[in-house]
Structure 1
Amino acid sequence: MKVTIITVVFNGAGTVRDSIESVLNQTHPDIEYIVIDGKSTDNTAEVVRSYGSRITRFVSEPDKGLYDAINKGIRLATGDVIGLINADDFYHHPQVVEKVVQLFEKTNCDAVYGDVIYVNAENTQKIDRYWKVGEYKEGAFLWGWMPPHPTCFIRRSVYEKLGGYTLELKSSSDYELLLRYIHKHKIKLSYLPEVLVTMRSGGMSNATLKHRWRANREDRQGWKLNGLRPYFFTLFLKPLRKLDQLLPKL
Protein backbone atom coordinates (compact mmCIF):
# COMPACT_ATOMS: atom_id res chain seq x y z
CA MET A 1 0.00 0.00 0.00
CA LYS A 2 1.40 3.34 -1.07
CA VAL A 3 1.09 6.18 1.46
CA THR A 4 1.37 9.88 0.65
CA ILE A 5 2.48 12.14 3.50
CA ILE A 6 1.90 15.89 3.11
CA THR A 7 3.60 18.63 5.10
CA VAL A 8 2.36 22.21 4.75
CA VAL A 9 4.75 24.91 5.94
CA PHE A 10 5.15 28.67 6.01
CA ASN A 11 8.20 30.22 7.68
CA GLY A 12 8.85 27.01 9.58
CA ALA A 13 12.62 26.75 9.22
CA GLY A 14 13.04 26.26 12.96
CA THR A 15 10.84 23.15 13.21
CA VAL A 16 10.25 21.65 9.77
CA ARG A 17 13.44 19.58 9.91
CA ASP A 18 11.98 17.51 12.77
CA SER A 19 8.85 16.86 10.70
CA ILE A 20 10.85 15.87 7.64
CA GLU A 21 13.18 13.57 9.55
CA SER A 22 10.24 11.82 11.22
CA VAL A 23 8.77 11.04 7.80
CA LEU A 24 12.02 9.99 6.15
CA ASN A 25 12.81 7.68 9.09
CA GLN A 26 9.56 5.73 8.73
CA THR A 27 10.01 2.00 8.19
CA HIS A 28 7.16 1.60 5.70
CA PRO A 29 8.84 1.07 2.30
CA ASP A 30 6.36 2.86 0.01
CA ILE A 31 5.98 6.51 1.02
CA GLU A 32 5.48 9.48 -1.26
CA TYR A 33 6.43 12.67 0.57
CA ILE A 34 5.06 16.03 -0.58
CA VAL A 35 6.00 19.36 1.02
CA ILE A 36 3.90 22.43 0.22
CA ASP A 37 5.48 25.77 1.17
CA GLY A 38 3.52 29.03 1.06
CA LYS A 39 6.53 30.94 -0.33
CA SER A 40 8.28 31.34 3.01
CA THR A 41 10.41 34.42 3.64
CA ASP A 42 12.86 32.63 5.94
CA ASN A 43 15.15 29.76 4.89
CA THR A 44 12.44 27.07 4.93
CA ALA A 45 12.93 26.34 1.23
CA GLU A 46 16.67 25.83 1.72
CA VAL A 47 16.03 23.38 4.56
CA VAL A 48 13.58 21.37 2.45
CA ARG A 49 15.77 21.38 -0.66
CA SER A 50 18.73 20.11 1.39
CA TYR A 51 17.02 16.69 1.43
CA GLY A 52 17.12 16.47 -2.36
CA SER A 53 15.22 13.62 -3.99
CA ARG A 54 14.33 12.07 -0.62
CA ILE A 55 11.38 14.45 -0.73
CA THR A 56 9.25 13.31 -3.64
CA ARG A 57 7.81 16.70 -4.52
CA PHE A 58 8.38 20.22 -3.20
CA VAL A 59 6.16 23.15 -4.16
CA SER A 60 6.95 26.68 -2.99
CA GLU A 61 4.43 29.30 -4.08
CA PRO A 62 1.83 31.66 -2.59
CA ASP A 63 -1.44 30.12 -1.46
CA LYS A 64 -4.70 31.11 0.22
CA GLY A 65 -3.77 29.64 3.58
CA LEU A 66 -3.32 26.31 5.34
CA TYR A 67 -6.30 24.46 3.90
CA ASP A 68 -5.71 25.68 0.37
CA ALA A 69 -2.17 24.33 0.67
CA ILE A 70 -3.41 20.97 1.99
CA ASN A 71 -5.87 20.70 -0.90
CA LYS A 72 -3.00 21.38 -3.28
CA GLY A 73 -1.02 18.53 -1.75
CA ILE A 74 -4.00 16.17 -1.96
CA ARG A 75 -4.42 16.94 -5.67
CA LEU A 76 -0.76 16.01 -6.22
CA ALA A 77 -0.96 12.81 -4.15
CA THR A 78 -0.80 9.40 -5.83
CA GLY A 79 -0.85 7.19 -2.71
CA ASP A 80 -3.69 4.89 -1.69
CA VAL A 81 -3.76 6.61 1.69
CA ILE A 82 -2.97 10.21 2.61
CA GLY A 83 -1.56 11.43 5.93
CA LEU A 84 -0.82 14.99 7.05
CA ILE A 85 2.02 16.06 9.34
CA ASN A 86 2.30 19.75 10.23
CA ALA A 87 5.61 21.60 10.15
CA ASP A 88 5.48 22.00 13.96
CA ASP A 89 4.78 18.31 14.59
CA PHE A 90 6.51 14.98 14.06
CA TYR A 91 5.68 11.27 14.07
CA HIS A 92 6.13 9.72 17.48
CA HIS A 93 8.19 6.76 16.29
CA PRO A 94 9.48 5.24 13.01
CA GLN A 95 6.82 2.50 12.84
CA VAL A 96 3.78 4.83 12.75
CA VAL A 97 3.04 4.51 9.03
CA GLU A 98 3.82 0.80 9.02
CA LYS A 99 1.32 0.15 11.83
CA VAL A 100 -1.30 2.36 10.18
CA VAL A 101 -0.98 0.40 6.92
CA GLN A 102 -1.30 -2.90 8.78
CA LEU A 103 -4.56 -1.69 10.32
CA PHE A 104 -5.91 -0.55 6.94
CA GLU A 105 -5.14 -3.97 5.49
CA LYS A 106 -6.58 -5.83 8.48
CA THR A 107 -9.87 -3.92 8.74
CA ASN A 108 -10.36 -2.60 5.17
CA CYS A 109 -11.37 0.73 6.70
CA ASP A 110 -11.60 4.18 5.13
CA ALA A 111 -9.54 6.00 7.75
CA VAL A 112 -7.23 5.34 10.70
CA TYR A 113 -6.58 7.64 13.66
CA GLY A 114 -4.72 7.47 16.96
CA ASP A 115 -3.54 9.41 20.00
CA VAL A 116 -1.47 12.60 20.35
CA ILE A 117 0.86 14.07 22.92
CA TYR A 118 1.52 17.81 23.19
CA VAL A 119 5.01 18.83 24.22
CA ASN A 120 6.69 22.05 25.23
CA ALA A 121 7.67 24.05 22.16
CA GLU A 122 11.23 24.57 23.45
CA ASN A 123 11.73 21.26 25.22
CA THR A 124 10.06 18.45 23.29
CA GLN A 125 10.86 15.99 26.10
CA LYS A 126 8.41 17.81 28.39
CA ILE A 127 4.83 16.58 27.93
CA ASP A 128 2.06 19.15 28.42
CA ARG A 129 -1.01 17.15 27.38
CA TYR A 130 -1.94 13.64 26.34
CA TRP A 131 -4.96 13.17 24.09
CA LYS A 132 -6.14 9.57 24.38
CA VAL A 133 -9.03 9.46 21.93
CA GLY A 134 -10.61 6.04 22.27
CA GLU A 135 -12.84 4.12 19.88
CA TYR A 136 -15.38 6.03 17.85
CA LYS A 137 -19.06 5.44 18.59
CA GLU A 138 -21.70 6.57 16.11
CA GLY A 139 -23.09 9.95 17.08
CA ALA A 140 -20.02 10.90 19.12
CA PHE A 141 -19.68 14.23 17.30
CA LEU A 142 -22.93 15.31 18.98
CA TRP A 143 -21.12 14.92 22.29
CA GLY A 144 -18.13 17.07 21.35
CA TRP A 145 -15.89 14.25 20.10
CA MET A 146 -13.49 14.44 17.18
CA PRO A 147 -10.30 12.54 16.35
CA PRO A 148 -6.98 14.43 16.37
CA HIS A 149 -6.68 15.74 12.83
CA PRO A 150 -2.87 15.23 12.53
CA THR A 151 -3.25 11.51 13.28
CA CYS A 152 -5.87 10.90 10.59
CA PHE A 153 -4.82 8.78 7.63
CA ILE A 154 -7.58 8.76 5.01
CA ARG A 155 -7.93 6.89 1.73
CA ARG A 156 -7.39 9.11 -1.30
CA SER A 157 -10.61 7.72 -2.77
CA VAL A 158 -12.55 9.27 0.14
CA TYR A 159 -11.12 12.72 -0.61
CA GLU A 160 -12.01 12.25 -4.27
CA LYS A 161 -15.57 11.16 -3.47
CA LEU A 162 -16.46 13.52 -0.61
CA GLY A 163 -14.32 16.56 -1.43
CA GLY A 164 -11.43 18.31 0.29
CA TYR A 165 -11.13 21.12 2.83
CA THR A 166 -13.53 24.04 2.52
CA LEU A 167 -11.96 27.49 2.23
CA GLU A 168 -15.07 29.10 3.75
CA LEU A 169 -13.64 28.45 7.23
CA LYS A 170 -10.33 29.82 8.50
CA SER A 171 -9.60 27.61 11.52
CA SER A 172 -12.22 24.84 11.62
CA SER A 173 -11.99 23.40 8.13
CA ASP A 174 -10.42 20.24 9.56
CA TYR A 175 -13.36 19.83 11.98
CA GLU A 176 -15.86 20.38 9.16
CA LEU A 177 -14.14 17.79 6.96
CA LEU A 178 -14.08 15.15 9.71
CA LEU A 179 -17.70 15.95 10.62
CA ARG A 180 -18.67 15.53 6.97
CA TYR A 181 -16.74 12.30 6.48
CA ILE A 182 -17.46 10.56 9.78
CA HIS A 183 -20.76 11.88 11.14
CA LYS A 184 -22.59 12.66 7.89
CA HIS A 185 -21.26 10.07 5.43
CA LYS A 186 -20.30 7.46 8.04
CA ILE A 187 -16.97 6.35 6.62
CA LYS A 188 -15.49 3.29 8.31
CA LEU A 189 -12.96 4.20 11.03
CA SER A 190 -10.27 2.18 12.78
CA TYR A 191 -8.55 3.32 15.96
CA LEU A 192 -4.86 2.60 16.59
CA PRO A 193 -4.59 2.87 20.40
CA GLU A 194 -1.19 4.47 20.74
CA VAL A 195 0.50 7.83 20.28
CA LEU A 196 1.07 8.51 16.59
CA VAL A 197 1.98 12.21 16.55
CA THR A 198 3.89 14.56 18.84
CA MET A 199 2.65 18.15 18.61
CA ARG A 200 4.35 21.28 19.88
CA SER A 201 2.07 23.28 22.16
CA GLY A 202 1.18 26.76 20.98
CA GLY A 203 0.30 25.94 17.36
CA MET A 204 -2.78 27.01 15.45
CA SER A 205 -5.03 24.49 17.16
CA ASN A 206 -3.78 25.42 20.66
CA ALA A 207 -4.10 29.18 20.47
CA THR A 208 -5.74 31.89 22.56
CA LEU A 209 -9.21 32.15 24.06
CA LYS A 210 -10.07 34.59 21.28
CA HIS A 211 -9.09 31.96 18.73
CA ARG A 212 -11.16 29.30 20.51
CA TRP A 213 -14.21 31.59 20.46
CA ARG A 214 -13.82 32.11 16.72
CA ALA A 215 -13.26 28.38 16.23
CA ASN A 216 -16.46 27.62 18.15
CA ARG A 217 -18.44 29.87 15.82
CA GLU A 218 -16.81 28.23 12.80
CA ASP A 219 -17.57 24.77 14.20
CA ARG A 220 -21.24 25.74 14.27
CA GLN A 221 -20.96 26.95 10.68
CA GLY A 222 -19.46 23.57 9.75
CA TRP A 223 -22.65 21.85 10.91
CA LYS A 224 -24.74 24.28 8.85
CA LEU A 225 -22.64 23.72 5.73
CA ASN A 226 -23.55 20.03 5.97
CA GLY A 227 -27.23 20.57 6.66
CA LEU A 228 -26.78 19.13 10.15
CA ARG A 229 -27.96 20.32 13.55
CA PRO A 230 -25.96 19.75 16.76
CA TYR A 231 -27.44 19.56 20.24
CA PHE A 232 -27.51 22.90 22.03
CA PHE A 233 -24.57 21.75 24.19
CA THR A 234 -22.49 20.00 21.49
CA LEU A 235 -20.09 22.82 20.71
CA PHE A 236 -19.59 23.67 24.38
CA LEU A 237 -18.56 20.09 25.12
CA LYS A 238 -15.92 20.08 22.39
CA PRO A 239 -13.41 22.40 24.18
CA LEU A 240 -14.34 20.95 27.60
CA ARG A 241 -13.10 17.55 26.46
CA LYS A 242 -9.58 19.01 26.46
CA LEU A 243 -9.61 19.20 30.27
CA ASP A 244 -9.26 15.42 30.37
CA GLN A 245 -6.06 15.68 28.32
CA LEU A 246 -4.31 17.44 31.20
CA LEU A 247 -4.48 14.35 33.40
CA PRO A 248 -1.24 12.35 33.64
CA LYS A 249 -1.82 9.23 31.51
CA LEU A 250 1.59 8.19 30.30
Structure 2
Amino acid sequence: MVTKISIITVCYNSASTIRDTLRSVADQTHPHIEHIIVDGGSSDETVSLVQQYRRHSGPLVSEPDRGIYDAMNKGLALASGDVVGFLNSDDAYADTNVLSRVAEVFAMQTVDACYGDLVYVAANNPNRVVRYWRSRPYQPGLCSRGWMPAHPTFYVRRQAYQRYGGFDDSLRIAADFEICLRLLEVQRLRVTYLPGVLVRMRTGGVSNASLRNVVRSNREVAQALRKHGFPAGLPLILGKLASKLAQLRWSLMAPRV
Protein backbone atom coordinates (compact mmCIF):
# COMPACT_ATOMS: atom_id res chain seq x y z
CA MET A 1 0.00 0.00 0.00
CA VAL A 2 1.35 3.42 -0.97
CA THR A 3 1.56 5.89 1.91
CA LYS A 4 -0.64 8.97 1.55
CA ILE A 5 1.06 12.06 2.98
CA SER A 6 -0.85 15.15 4.11
CA ILE A 7 1.21 18.33 3.92
CA ILE A 8 -0.16 21.29 5.86
CA THR A 9 0.90 24.82 4.90
CA VAL A 10 -0.18 27.65 7.19
CA CYS A 11 0.00 31.11 5.68
CA TYR A 12 -0.95 34.76 6.11
CA ASN A 13 -0.11 37.48 3.59
CA SER A 14 2.55 35.19 2.12
CA ALA A 15 2.31 36.26 -1.53
CA SER A 16 6.03 37.05 -1.71
CA THR A 17 7.13 33.50 -0.85
CA ILE A 18 4.31 30.96 -1.13
CA ARG A 19 4.72 30.42 -4.87
CA ASP A 20 8.05 28.66 -4.23
CA THR A 21 6.46 26.55 -1.49
CA LEU A 22 3.59 25.47 -3.73
CA ARG A 23 5.91 24.59 -6.61
CA SER A 24 8.11 22.64 -4.23
CA VAL A 25 5.19 20.43 -3.19
CA ALA A 26 3.90 20.15 -6.76
CA ASP A 27 7.29 18.89 -7.98
CA GLN A 28 7.51 16.00 -5.51
CA THR A 29 7.78 12.59 -7.15
CA HIS A 30 5.70 10.84 -4.49
CA PRO A 31 2.30 10.18 -6.11
CA HIS A 32 -0.06 10.37 -3.12
CA ILE A 33 0.02 13.84 -1.58
CA GLU A 34 -2.73 15.90 0.00
CA HIS A 35 -1.77 19.58 0.28
CA ILE A 36 -3.86 21.40 2.89
CA ILE A 37 -3.70 25.20 2.95
CA VAL A 38 -4.81 27.06 6.07
CA ASP A 39 -4.80 30.80 5.41
CA GLY A 40 -5.44 33.31 8.15
CA GLY A 41 -7.60 35.59 6.00
CA SER A 42 -4.89 37.19 3.87
CA SER A 43 -5.46 40.60 2.32
CA ASP A 44 -2.82 40.15 -0.39
CA GLU A 45 -2.69 37.69 -3.32
CA THR A 46 -1.90 34.60 -1.21
CA VAL A 47 -5.17 32.76 -1.86
CA SER A 48 -5.18 33.46 -5.60
CA LEU A 49 -1.60 32.16 -5.83
CA VAL A 50 -2.64 29.01 -3.98
CA GLN A 51 -5.46 28.48 -6.46
CA GLN A 52 -3.07 29.03 -9.36
CA TYR A 53 -0.02 27.03 -8.32
CA ARG A 54 -1.25 24.23 -6.05
CA ARG A 55 -1.19 20.94 -7.98
CA HIS A 56 -2.33 18.45 -5.34
CA SER A 57 -5.89 18.38 -4.06
CA GLY A 58 -6.71 19.16 -0.45
CA PRO A 59 -8.82 21.52 1.65
CA LEU A 60 -8.28 25.27 1.41
CA VAL A 61 -9.38 27.32 4.43
CA SER A 62 -9.15 31.11 4.52
CA GLU A 63 -10.44 32.70 7.71
CA PRO A 64 -9.09 34.47 10.80
CA ASP A 65 -7.39 32.30 13.40
CA ARG A 66 -5.90 32.65 16.88
CA GLY A 67 -2.31 32.20 15.70
CA ILE A 68 -0.07 29.78 13.84
CA TYR A 69 -0.69 26.79 16.12
CA ASP A 70 -4.45 27.24 16.00
CA ALA A 71 -4.10 27.21 12.21
CA MET A 72 -1.95 24.07 12.35
CA ASN A 73 -4.60 22.36 14.46
CA LYS A 74 -7.19 23.25 11.82
CA GLY A 75 -4.98 21.53 9.27
CA LEU A 76 -4.63 18.44 11.45
CA ALA A 77 -8.41 18.22 11.77
CA LEU A 78 -8.73 18.27 7.96
CA ALA A 79 -5.93 15.80 7.19
CA SER A 80 -6.82 12.41 5.71
CA GLY A 81 -3.34 11.04 4.98
CA ASP A 82 -1.56 8.19 6.70
CA VAL A 83 1.27 10.57 7.60
CA VAL A 84 1.23 14.30 8.33
CA GLY A 85 3.94 16.91 7.86
CA PHE A 86 4.12 20.71 7.86
CA LEU A 87 5.77 22.99 5.32
CA ASN A 88 5.79 26.70 6.12
CA SER A 89 4.72 29.22 3.49
CA ASP A 90 8.27 30.56 3.11
CA ASP A 91 10.01 27.15 3.02
CA ALA A 92 10.66 24.62 0.26
CA TYR A 93 11.76 21.02 -0.06
CA ALA A 94 15.44 20.42 -0.72
CA ASP A 95 14.73 18.27 -3.77
CA THR A 96 11.91 16.51 -5.60
CA ASN A 97 12.35 13.16 -3.81
CA VAL A 98 11.93 14.28 -0.19
CA LEU A 99 8.41 12.89 0.27
CA SER A 100 9.31 9.68 -1.54
CA ARG A 101 12.08 9.14 1.01
CA VAL A 102 9.67 9.89 3.85
CA ALA A 103 7.14 7.41 2.44
CA GLU A 104 9.82 4.70 2.28
CA VAL A 105 10.49 5.17 5.99
CA PHE A 106 6.80 4.84 6.86
CA ALA A 107 6.47 1.68 4.79
CA MET A 108 7.99 0.09 7.88
CA GLN A 109 5.18 -0.45 10.38
CA THR A 110 7.67 -0.14 13.24
CA VAL A 111 8.07 3.61 12.55
CA ASP A 112 5.70 6.20 14.04
CA ALA A 113 7.65 9.35 13.18
CA CYS A 114 10.73 10.57 11.34
CA TYR A 115 12.76 13.74 10.86
CA GLY A 116 15.83 14.93 8.98
CA ASP A 117 18.16 17.87 8.47
CA LEU A 118 17.36 21.43 7.43
CA VAL A 119 19.26 24.38 6.02
CA TYR A 120 18.49 28.02 6.72
CA VAL A 121 18.74 30.14 3.59
CA ALA A 122 18.89 33.91 3.19
CA ALA A 123 15.45 35.52 3.13
CA ASN A 124 16.28 37.46 -0.05
CA ASN A 125 18.31 34.69 -1.70
CA PRO A 126 17.03 31.13 -1.09
CA ASN A 127 20.06 29.72 -2.91
CA ARG A 128 22.45 30.98 -0.21
CA VAL A 129 22.78 28.69 2.81
CA VAL A 130 23.49 30.59 6.03
CA ARG A 131 23.12 27.84 8.63
CA TYR A 132 22.90 24.06 8.68
CA TRP A 133 20.65 22.30 11.19
CA ARG A 134 22.13 18.82 11.41
CA SER A 135 19.99 16.48 13.48
CA ARG A 136 20.95 13.11 14.94
CA PRO A 137 19.33 9.79 15.86
CA TYR A 138 16.92 10.26 18.73
CA GLN A 139 17.84 9.08 22.19
CA PRO A 140 15.57 9.27 25.26
CA GLY A 141 16.26 12.46 27.19
CA LEU A 142 17.15 14.70 24.25
CA CYS A 143 13.88 16.64 24.23
CA SER A 144 13.78 16.89 28.02
CA ARG A 145 17.15 18.68 27.77
CA GLY A 146 15.72 21.26 25.35
CA TRP A 147 16.69 19.65 22.02
CA MET A 148 14.17 19.10 19.26
CA PRO A 149 14.20 18.00 15.61
CA ALA A 150 13.66 20.68 12.99
CA HIS A 151 9.87 20.85 12.96
CA PRO A 152 9.48 21.38 9.18
CA THR A 153 11.23 18.00 8.74
CA PHE A 154 9.07 16.20 11.33
CA TYR A 155 6.56 13.64 9.99
CA VAL A 156 4.16 11.70 12.20
CA ARG A 157 1.48 9.10 11.60
CA ARG A 158 -1.92 10.80 11.73
CA GLN A 159 -3.13 8.19 14.22
CA ALA A 160 -0.60 9.54 16.74
CA TYR A 161 -2.08 13.04 16.54
CA GLN A 162 -5.55 11.56 16.90
CA ARG A 163 -4.46 9.65 20.00
CA TYR A 164 -2.23 12.21 21.72
CA GLY A 165 -3.62 15.53 20.50
CA GLY A 166 -2.43 18.47 18.45
CA PHE A 167 -0.61 21.68 19.30
CA ASP A 168 -1.01 23.45 22.64
CA ASP A 169 -2.04 26.86 21.29
CA SER A 170 -1.70 28.48 24.70
CA LEU A 171 1.99 28.55 23.75
CA ARG A 172 2.56 31.28 21.16
CA ILE A 173 6.10 30.42 20.04
CA ALA A 174 7.20 27.02 21.38
CA ALA A 175 4.21 24.73 20.77
CA ASP A 176 6.27 22.88 18.17
CA PHE A 177 8.78 22.04 20.91
CA GLU A 178 6.00 20.95 23.26
CA ILE A 179 4.48 18.57 20.73
CA CYS A 180 7.87 17.02 19.94
CA LEU A 181 8.48 16.63 23.68
CA ARG A 182 5.06 15.05 24.18
CA LEU A 183 5.30 12.64 21.25
CA LEU A 184 8.95 11.62 21.51
CA GLU A 185 9.76 11.89 25.20
CA VAL A 186 6.44 11.31 26.97
CA GLN A 187 4.62 8.96 24.58
CA ARG A 188 7.86 7.42 23.26
CA LEU A 189 6.86 7.19 19.61
CA ARG A 190 9.15 4.99 17.56
CA VAL A 191 11.12 7.59 15.64
CA THR A 192 13.71 7.36 12.87
CA TYR A 193 16.31 9.92 11.82
CA LEU A 194 16.45 10.35 8.05
CA PRO A 195 19.93 11.74 7.28
CA GLY A 196 20.14 14.47 4.69
CA VAL A 197 18.60 17.86 4.06
CA LEU A 198 14.82 17.74 3.66
CA VAL A 199 13.84 21.42 3.82
CA ARG A 200 15.26 24.81 2.89
CA MET A 201 13.97 27.33 5.43
CA ARG A 202 14.16 31.09 5.00
CA THR A 203 15.65 33.00 7.93
CA GLY A 204 13.48 35.29 10.01
CA GLY A 205 11.43 32.83 12.09
CA VAL A 206 9.22 34.19 14.85
CA SER A 207 11.11 32.59 17.77
CA ASN A 208 14.37 34.33 16.80
CA ALA A 209 12.91 37.55 15.38
CA SER A 210 13.83 39.64 18.44
CA LEU A 211 15.46 39.35 21.85
CA ARG A 212 11.99 39.56 23.37
CA ASN A 213 10.85 36.54 21.34
CA VAL A 214 13.99 34.58 22.23
CA VAL A 215 13.27 35.19 25.93
CA ARG A 216 9.61 34.24 25.48
CA SER A 217 10.56 31.10 23.56
CA ASN A 218 12.84 29.96 26.39
CA ARG A 219 10.11 30.65 28.93
CA GLU A 220 7.62 28.61 26.93
CA VAL A 221 10.09 25.74 26.54
CA ALA A 222 10.51 25.74 30.33
CA GLN A 223 6.71 25.85 30.72
CA ALA A 224 6.33 22.84 28.41
CA LEU A 225 8.94 20.88 30.33
CA ARG A 226 7.28 21.57 33.66
CA LYS A 227 3.90 20.63 32.18
CA HIS A 228 5.23 17.13 31.50
CA GLY A 229 7.13 16.79 34.77
CA PHE A 230 10.66 17.59 33.57
CA PRO A 231 13.02 20.02 35.32
CA ALA A 232 13.55 23.44 33.73
CA GLY A 233 16.19 25.96 34.69
CA LEU A 234 19.61 27.41 33.82
CA PRO A 235 21.10 24.08 32.62
CA LEU A 236 18.29 23.88 30.06
CA ILE A 237 19.01 27.36 28.71
CA LEU A 238 22.75 26.67 28.54
CA GLY A 239 22.05 23.40 26.72
CA LYS A 240 19.87 25.16 24.17
CA LEU A 241 22.56 27.80 23.59
CA ALA A 242 25.16 25.08 23.08
CA SER A 243 22.86 23.43 20.54
CA LYS A 244 22.47 26.72 18.65
CA LEU A 245 26.24 27.21 18.57
CA ALA A 246 26.63 23.69 17.21
CA GLN A 247 24.20 24.53 14.43
CA LEU A 248 26.16 27.68 13.59
CA ARG A 249 29.40 25.73 13.49
CA TRP A 250 27.83 23.31 11.01
CA SER A 251 26.92 26.23 8.75
CA LEU A 252 30.60 26.92 8.15
CA MET A 253 31.07 23.35 6.93
CA ALA A 254 27.68 22.82 5.34
CA PRO A 255 27.60 20.94 2.04
CA ARG A 256 26.14 22.68 -0.97
CA VAL A 257 22.48 21.72 -1.36
TM-score range with shorter-chain normalisation? over 0.9
Aligned pairs (5 A) from 1:165-180 = 165-180=167-182
TM-superposition CA deviations, 1:79-100 (whole Å, max 9, x none): 0000100001111111001001
Aligned pairs (5 A) from 1:204-223 = 204-223=206-225
Contact 1:13 1:43 in 2 (8 A): yes
Q: Which residue of 1 aligns with 2:193?
A: 191
Contact 2:222 2:233 in 1 (8 A): no
Q: Which residue of 2 aligns with 1:56?
A: 58
Q: Which residue of 1 aligns with 2:254?
A: 249
- Gaps (5+ residues) in structure 1? none
The alpha-carbon distance between structure 1 residues 75 and 179, as it changes in their structure 2 partners (threshold 3 A), is same
Q: Which residue of 1 aligns with 2:103?
A: 101
What amino acid maps onto 2:22 in structure 1?
I
Aligned pairs (5 A) from 1:52-201 = 54-106=56-108, 108-201=110-203
Between the aligned partners of 1:143 and 1:65, the Cα distance in structure 2 is 27
Q: Which sits farther off after the overlay, 229-238 or 211-220?
A: 229-238
Between the aligned partners of 1:223 and 1:123, the Cα distance in structure 2 is 36
What amino acid maps onto 2:200 in structure 1?
T
What amino acid maps onto 2:177 in structure 1?
Y
Q: Number of residue pairs matched?
A: 250
Between the aligned partners of 1:187 and 1:48, the Cα distance in structure 2 is 34
RMSD: 1.5
What amino acid maps onto 2:222 in structure 1?
R
Query: Normalising to structure 2: TM-score of the pair?
Result: 0.93
Between the aligned partners of 1:77 and 1:195, the Cα distance in structure 2 is 25
Contact 2:26 2:55 in 1 (8 A): no
Query: Normalising to structure 1: TM-score of the pair?
Result: 0.96
Q: Which residue of 1 aligns with 2:19?
A: 17
Between the aligned partners of 2:6 and 2:129, the Cα distance in structure 1 is 28
Q: Which sits farther off after the overlay, 234-243 or 178-187?
A: 234-243
Q: Report how far residue 162 of structure 1 moved.
A: 0.5
Between the aligned partners of 1:68 and 1:47, the Cα distance in structure 2 is 23
Q: Report how far residue 124 of structure 1 moved.
A: 1.0
Between the aligned partners of 1:128 and 1:53, the Cα distance in structure 2 is 30
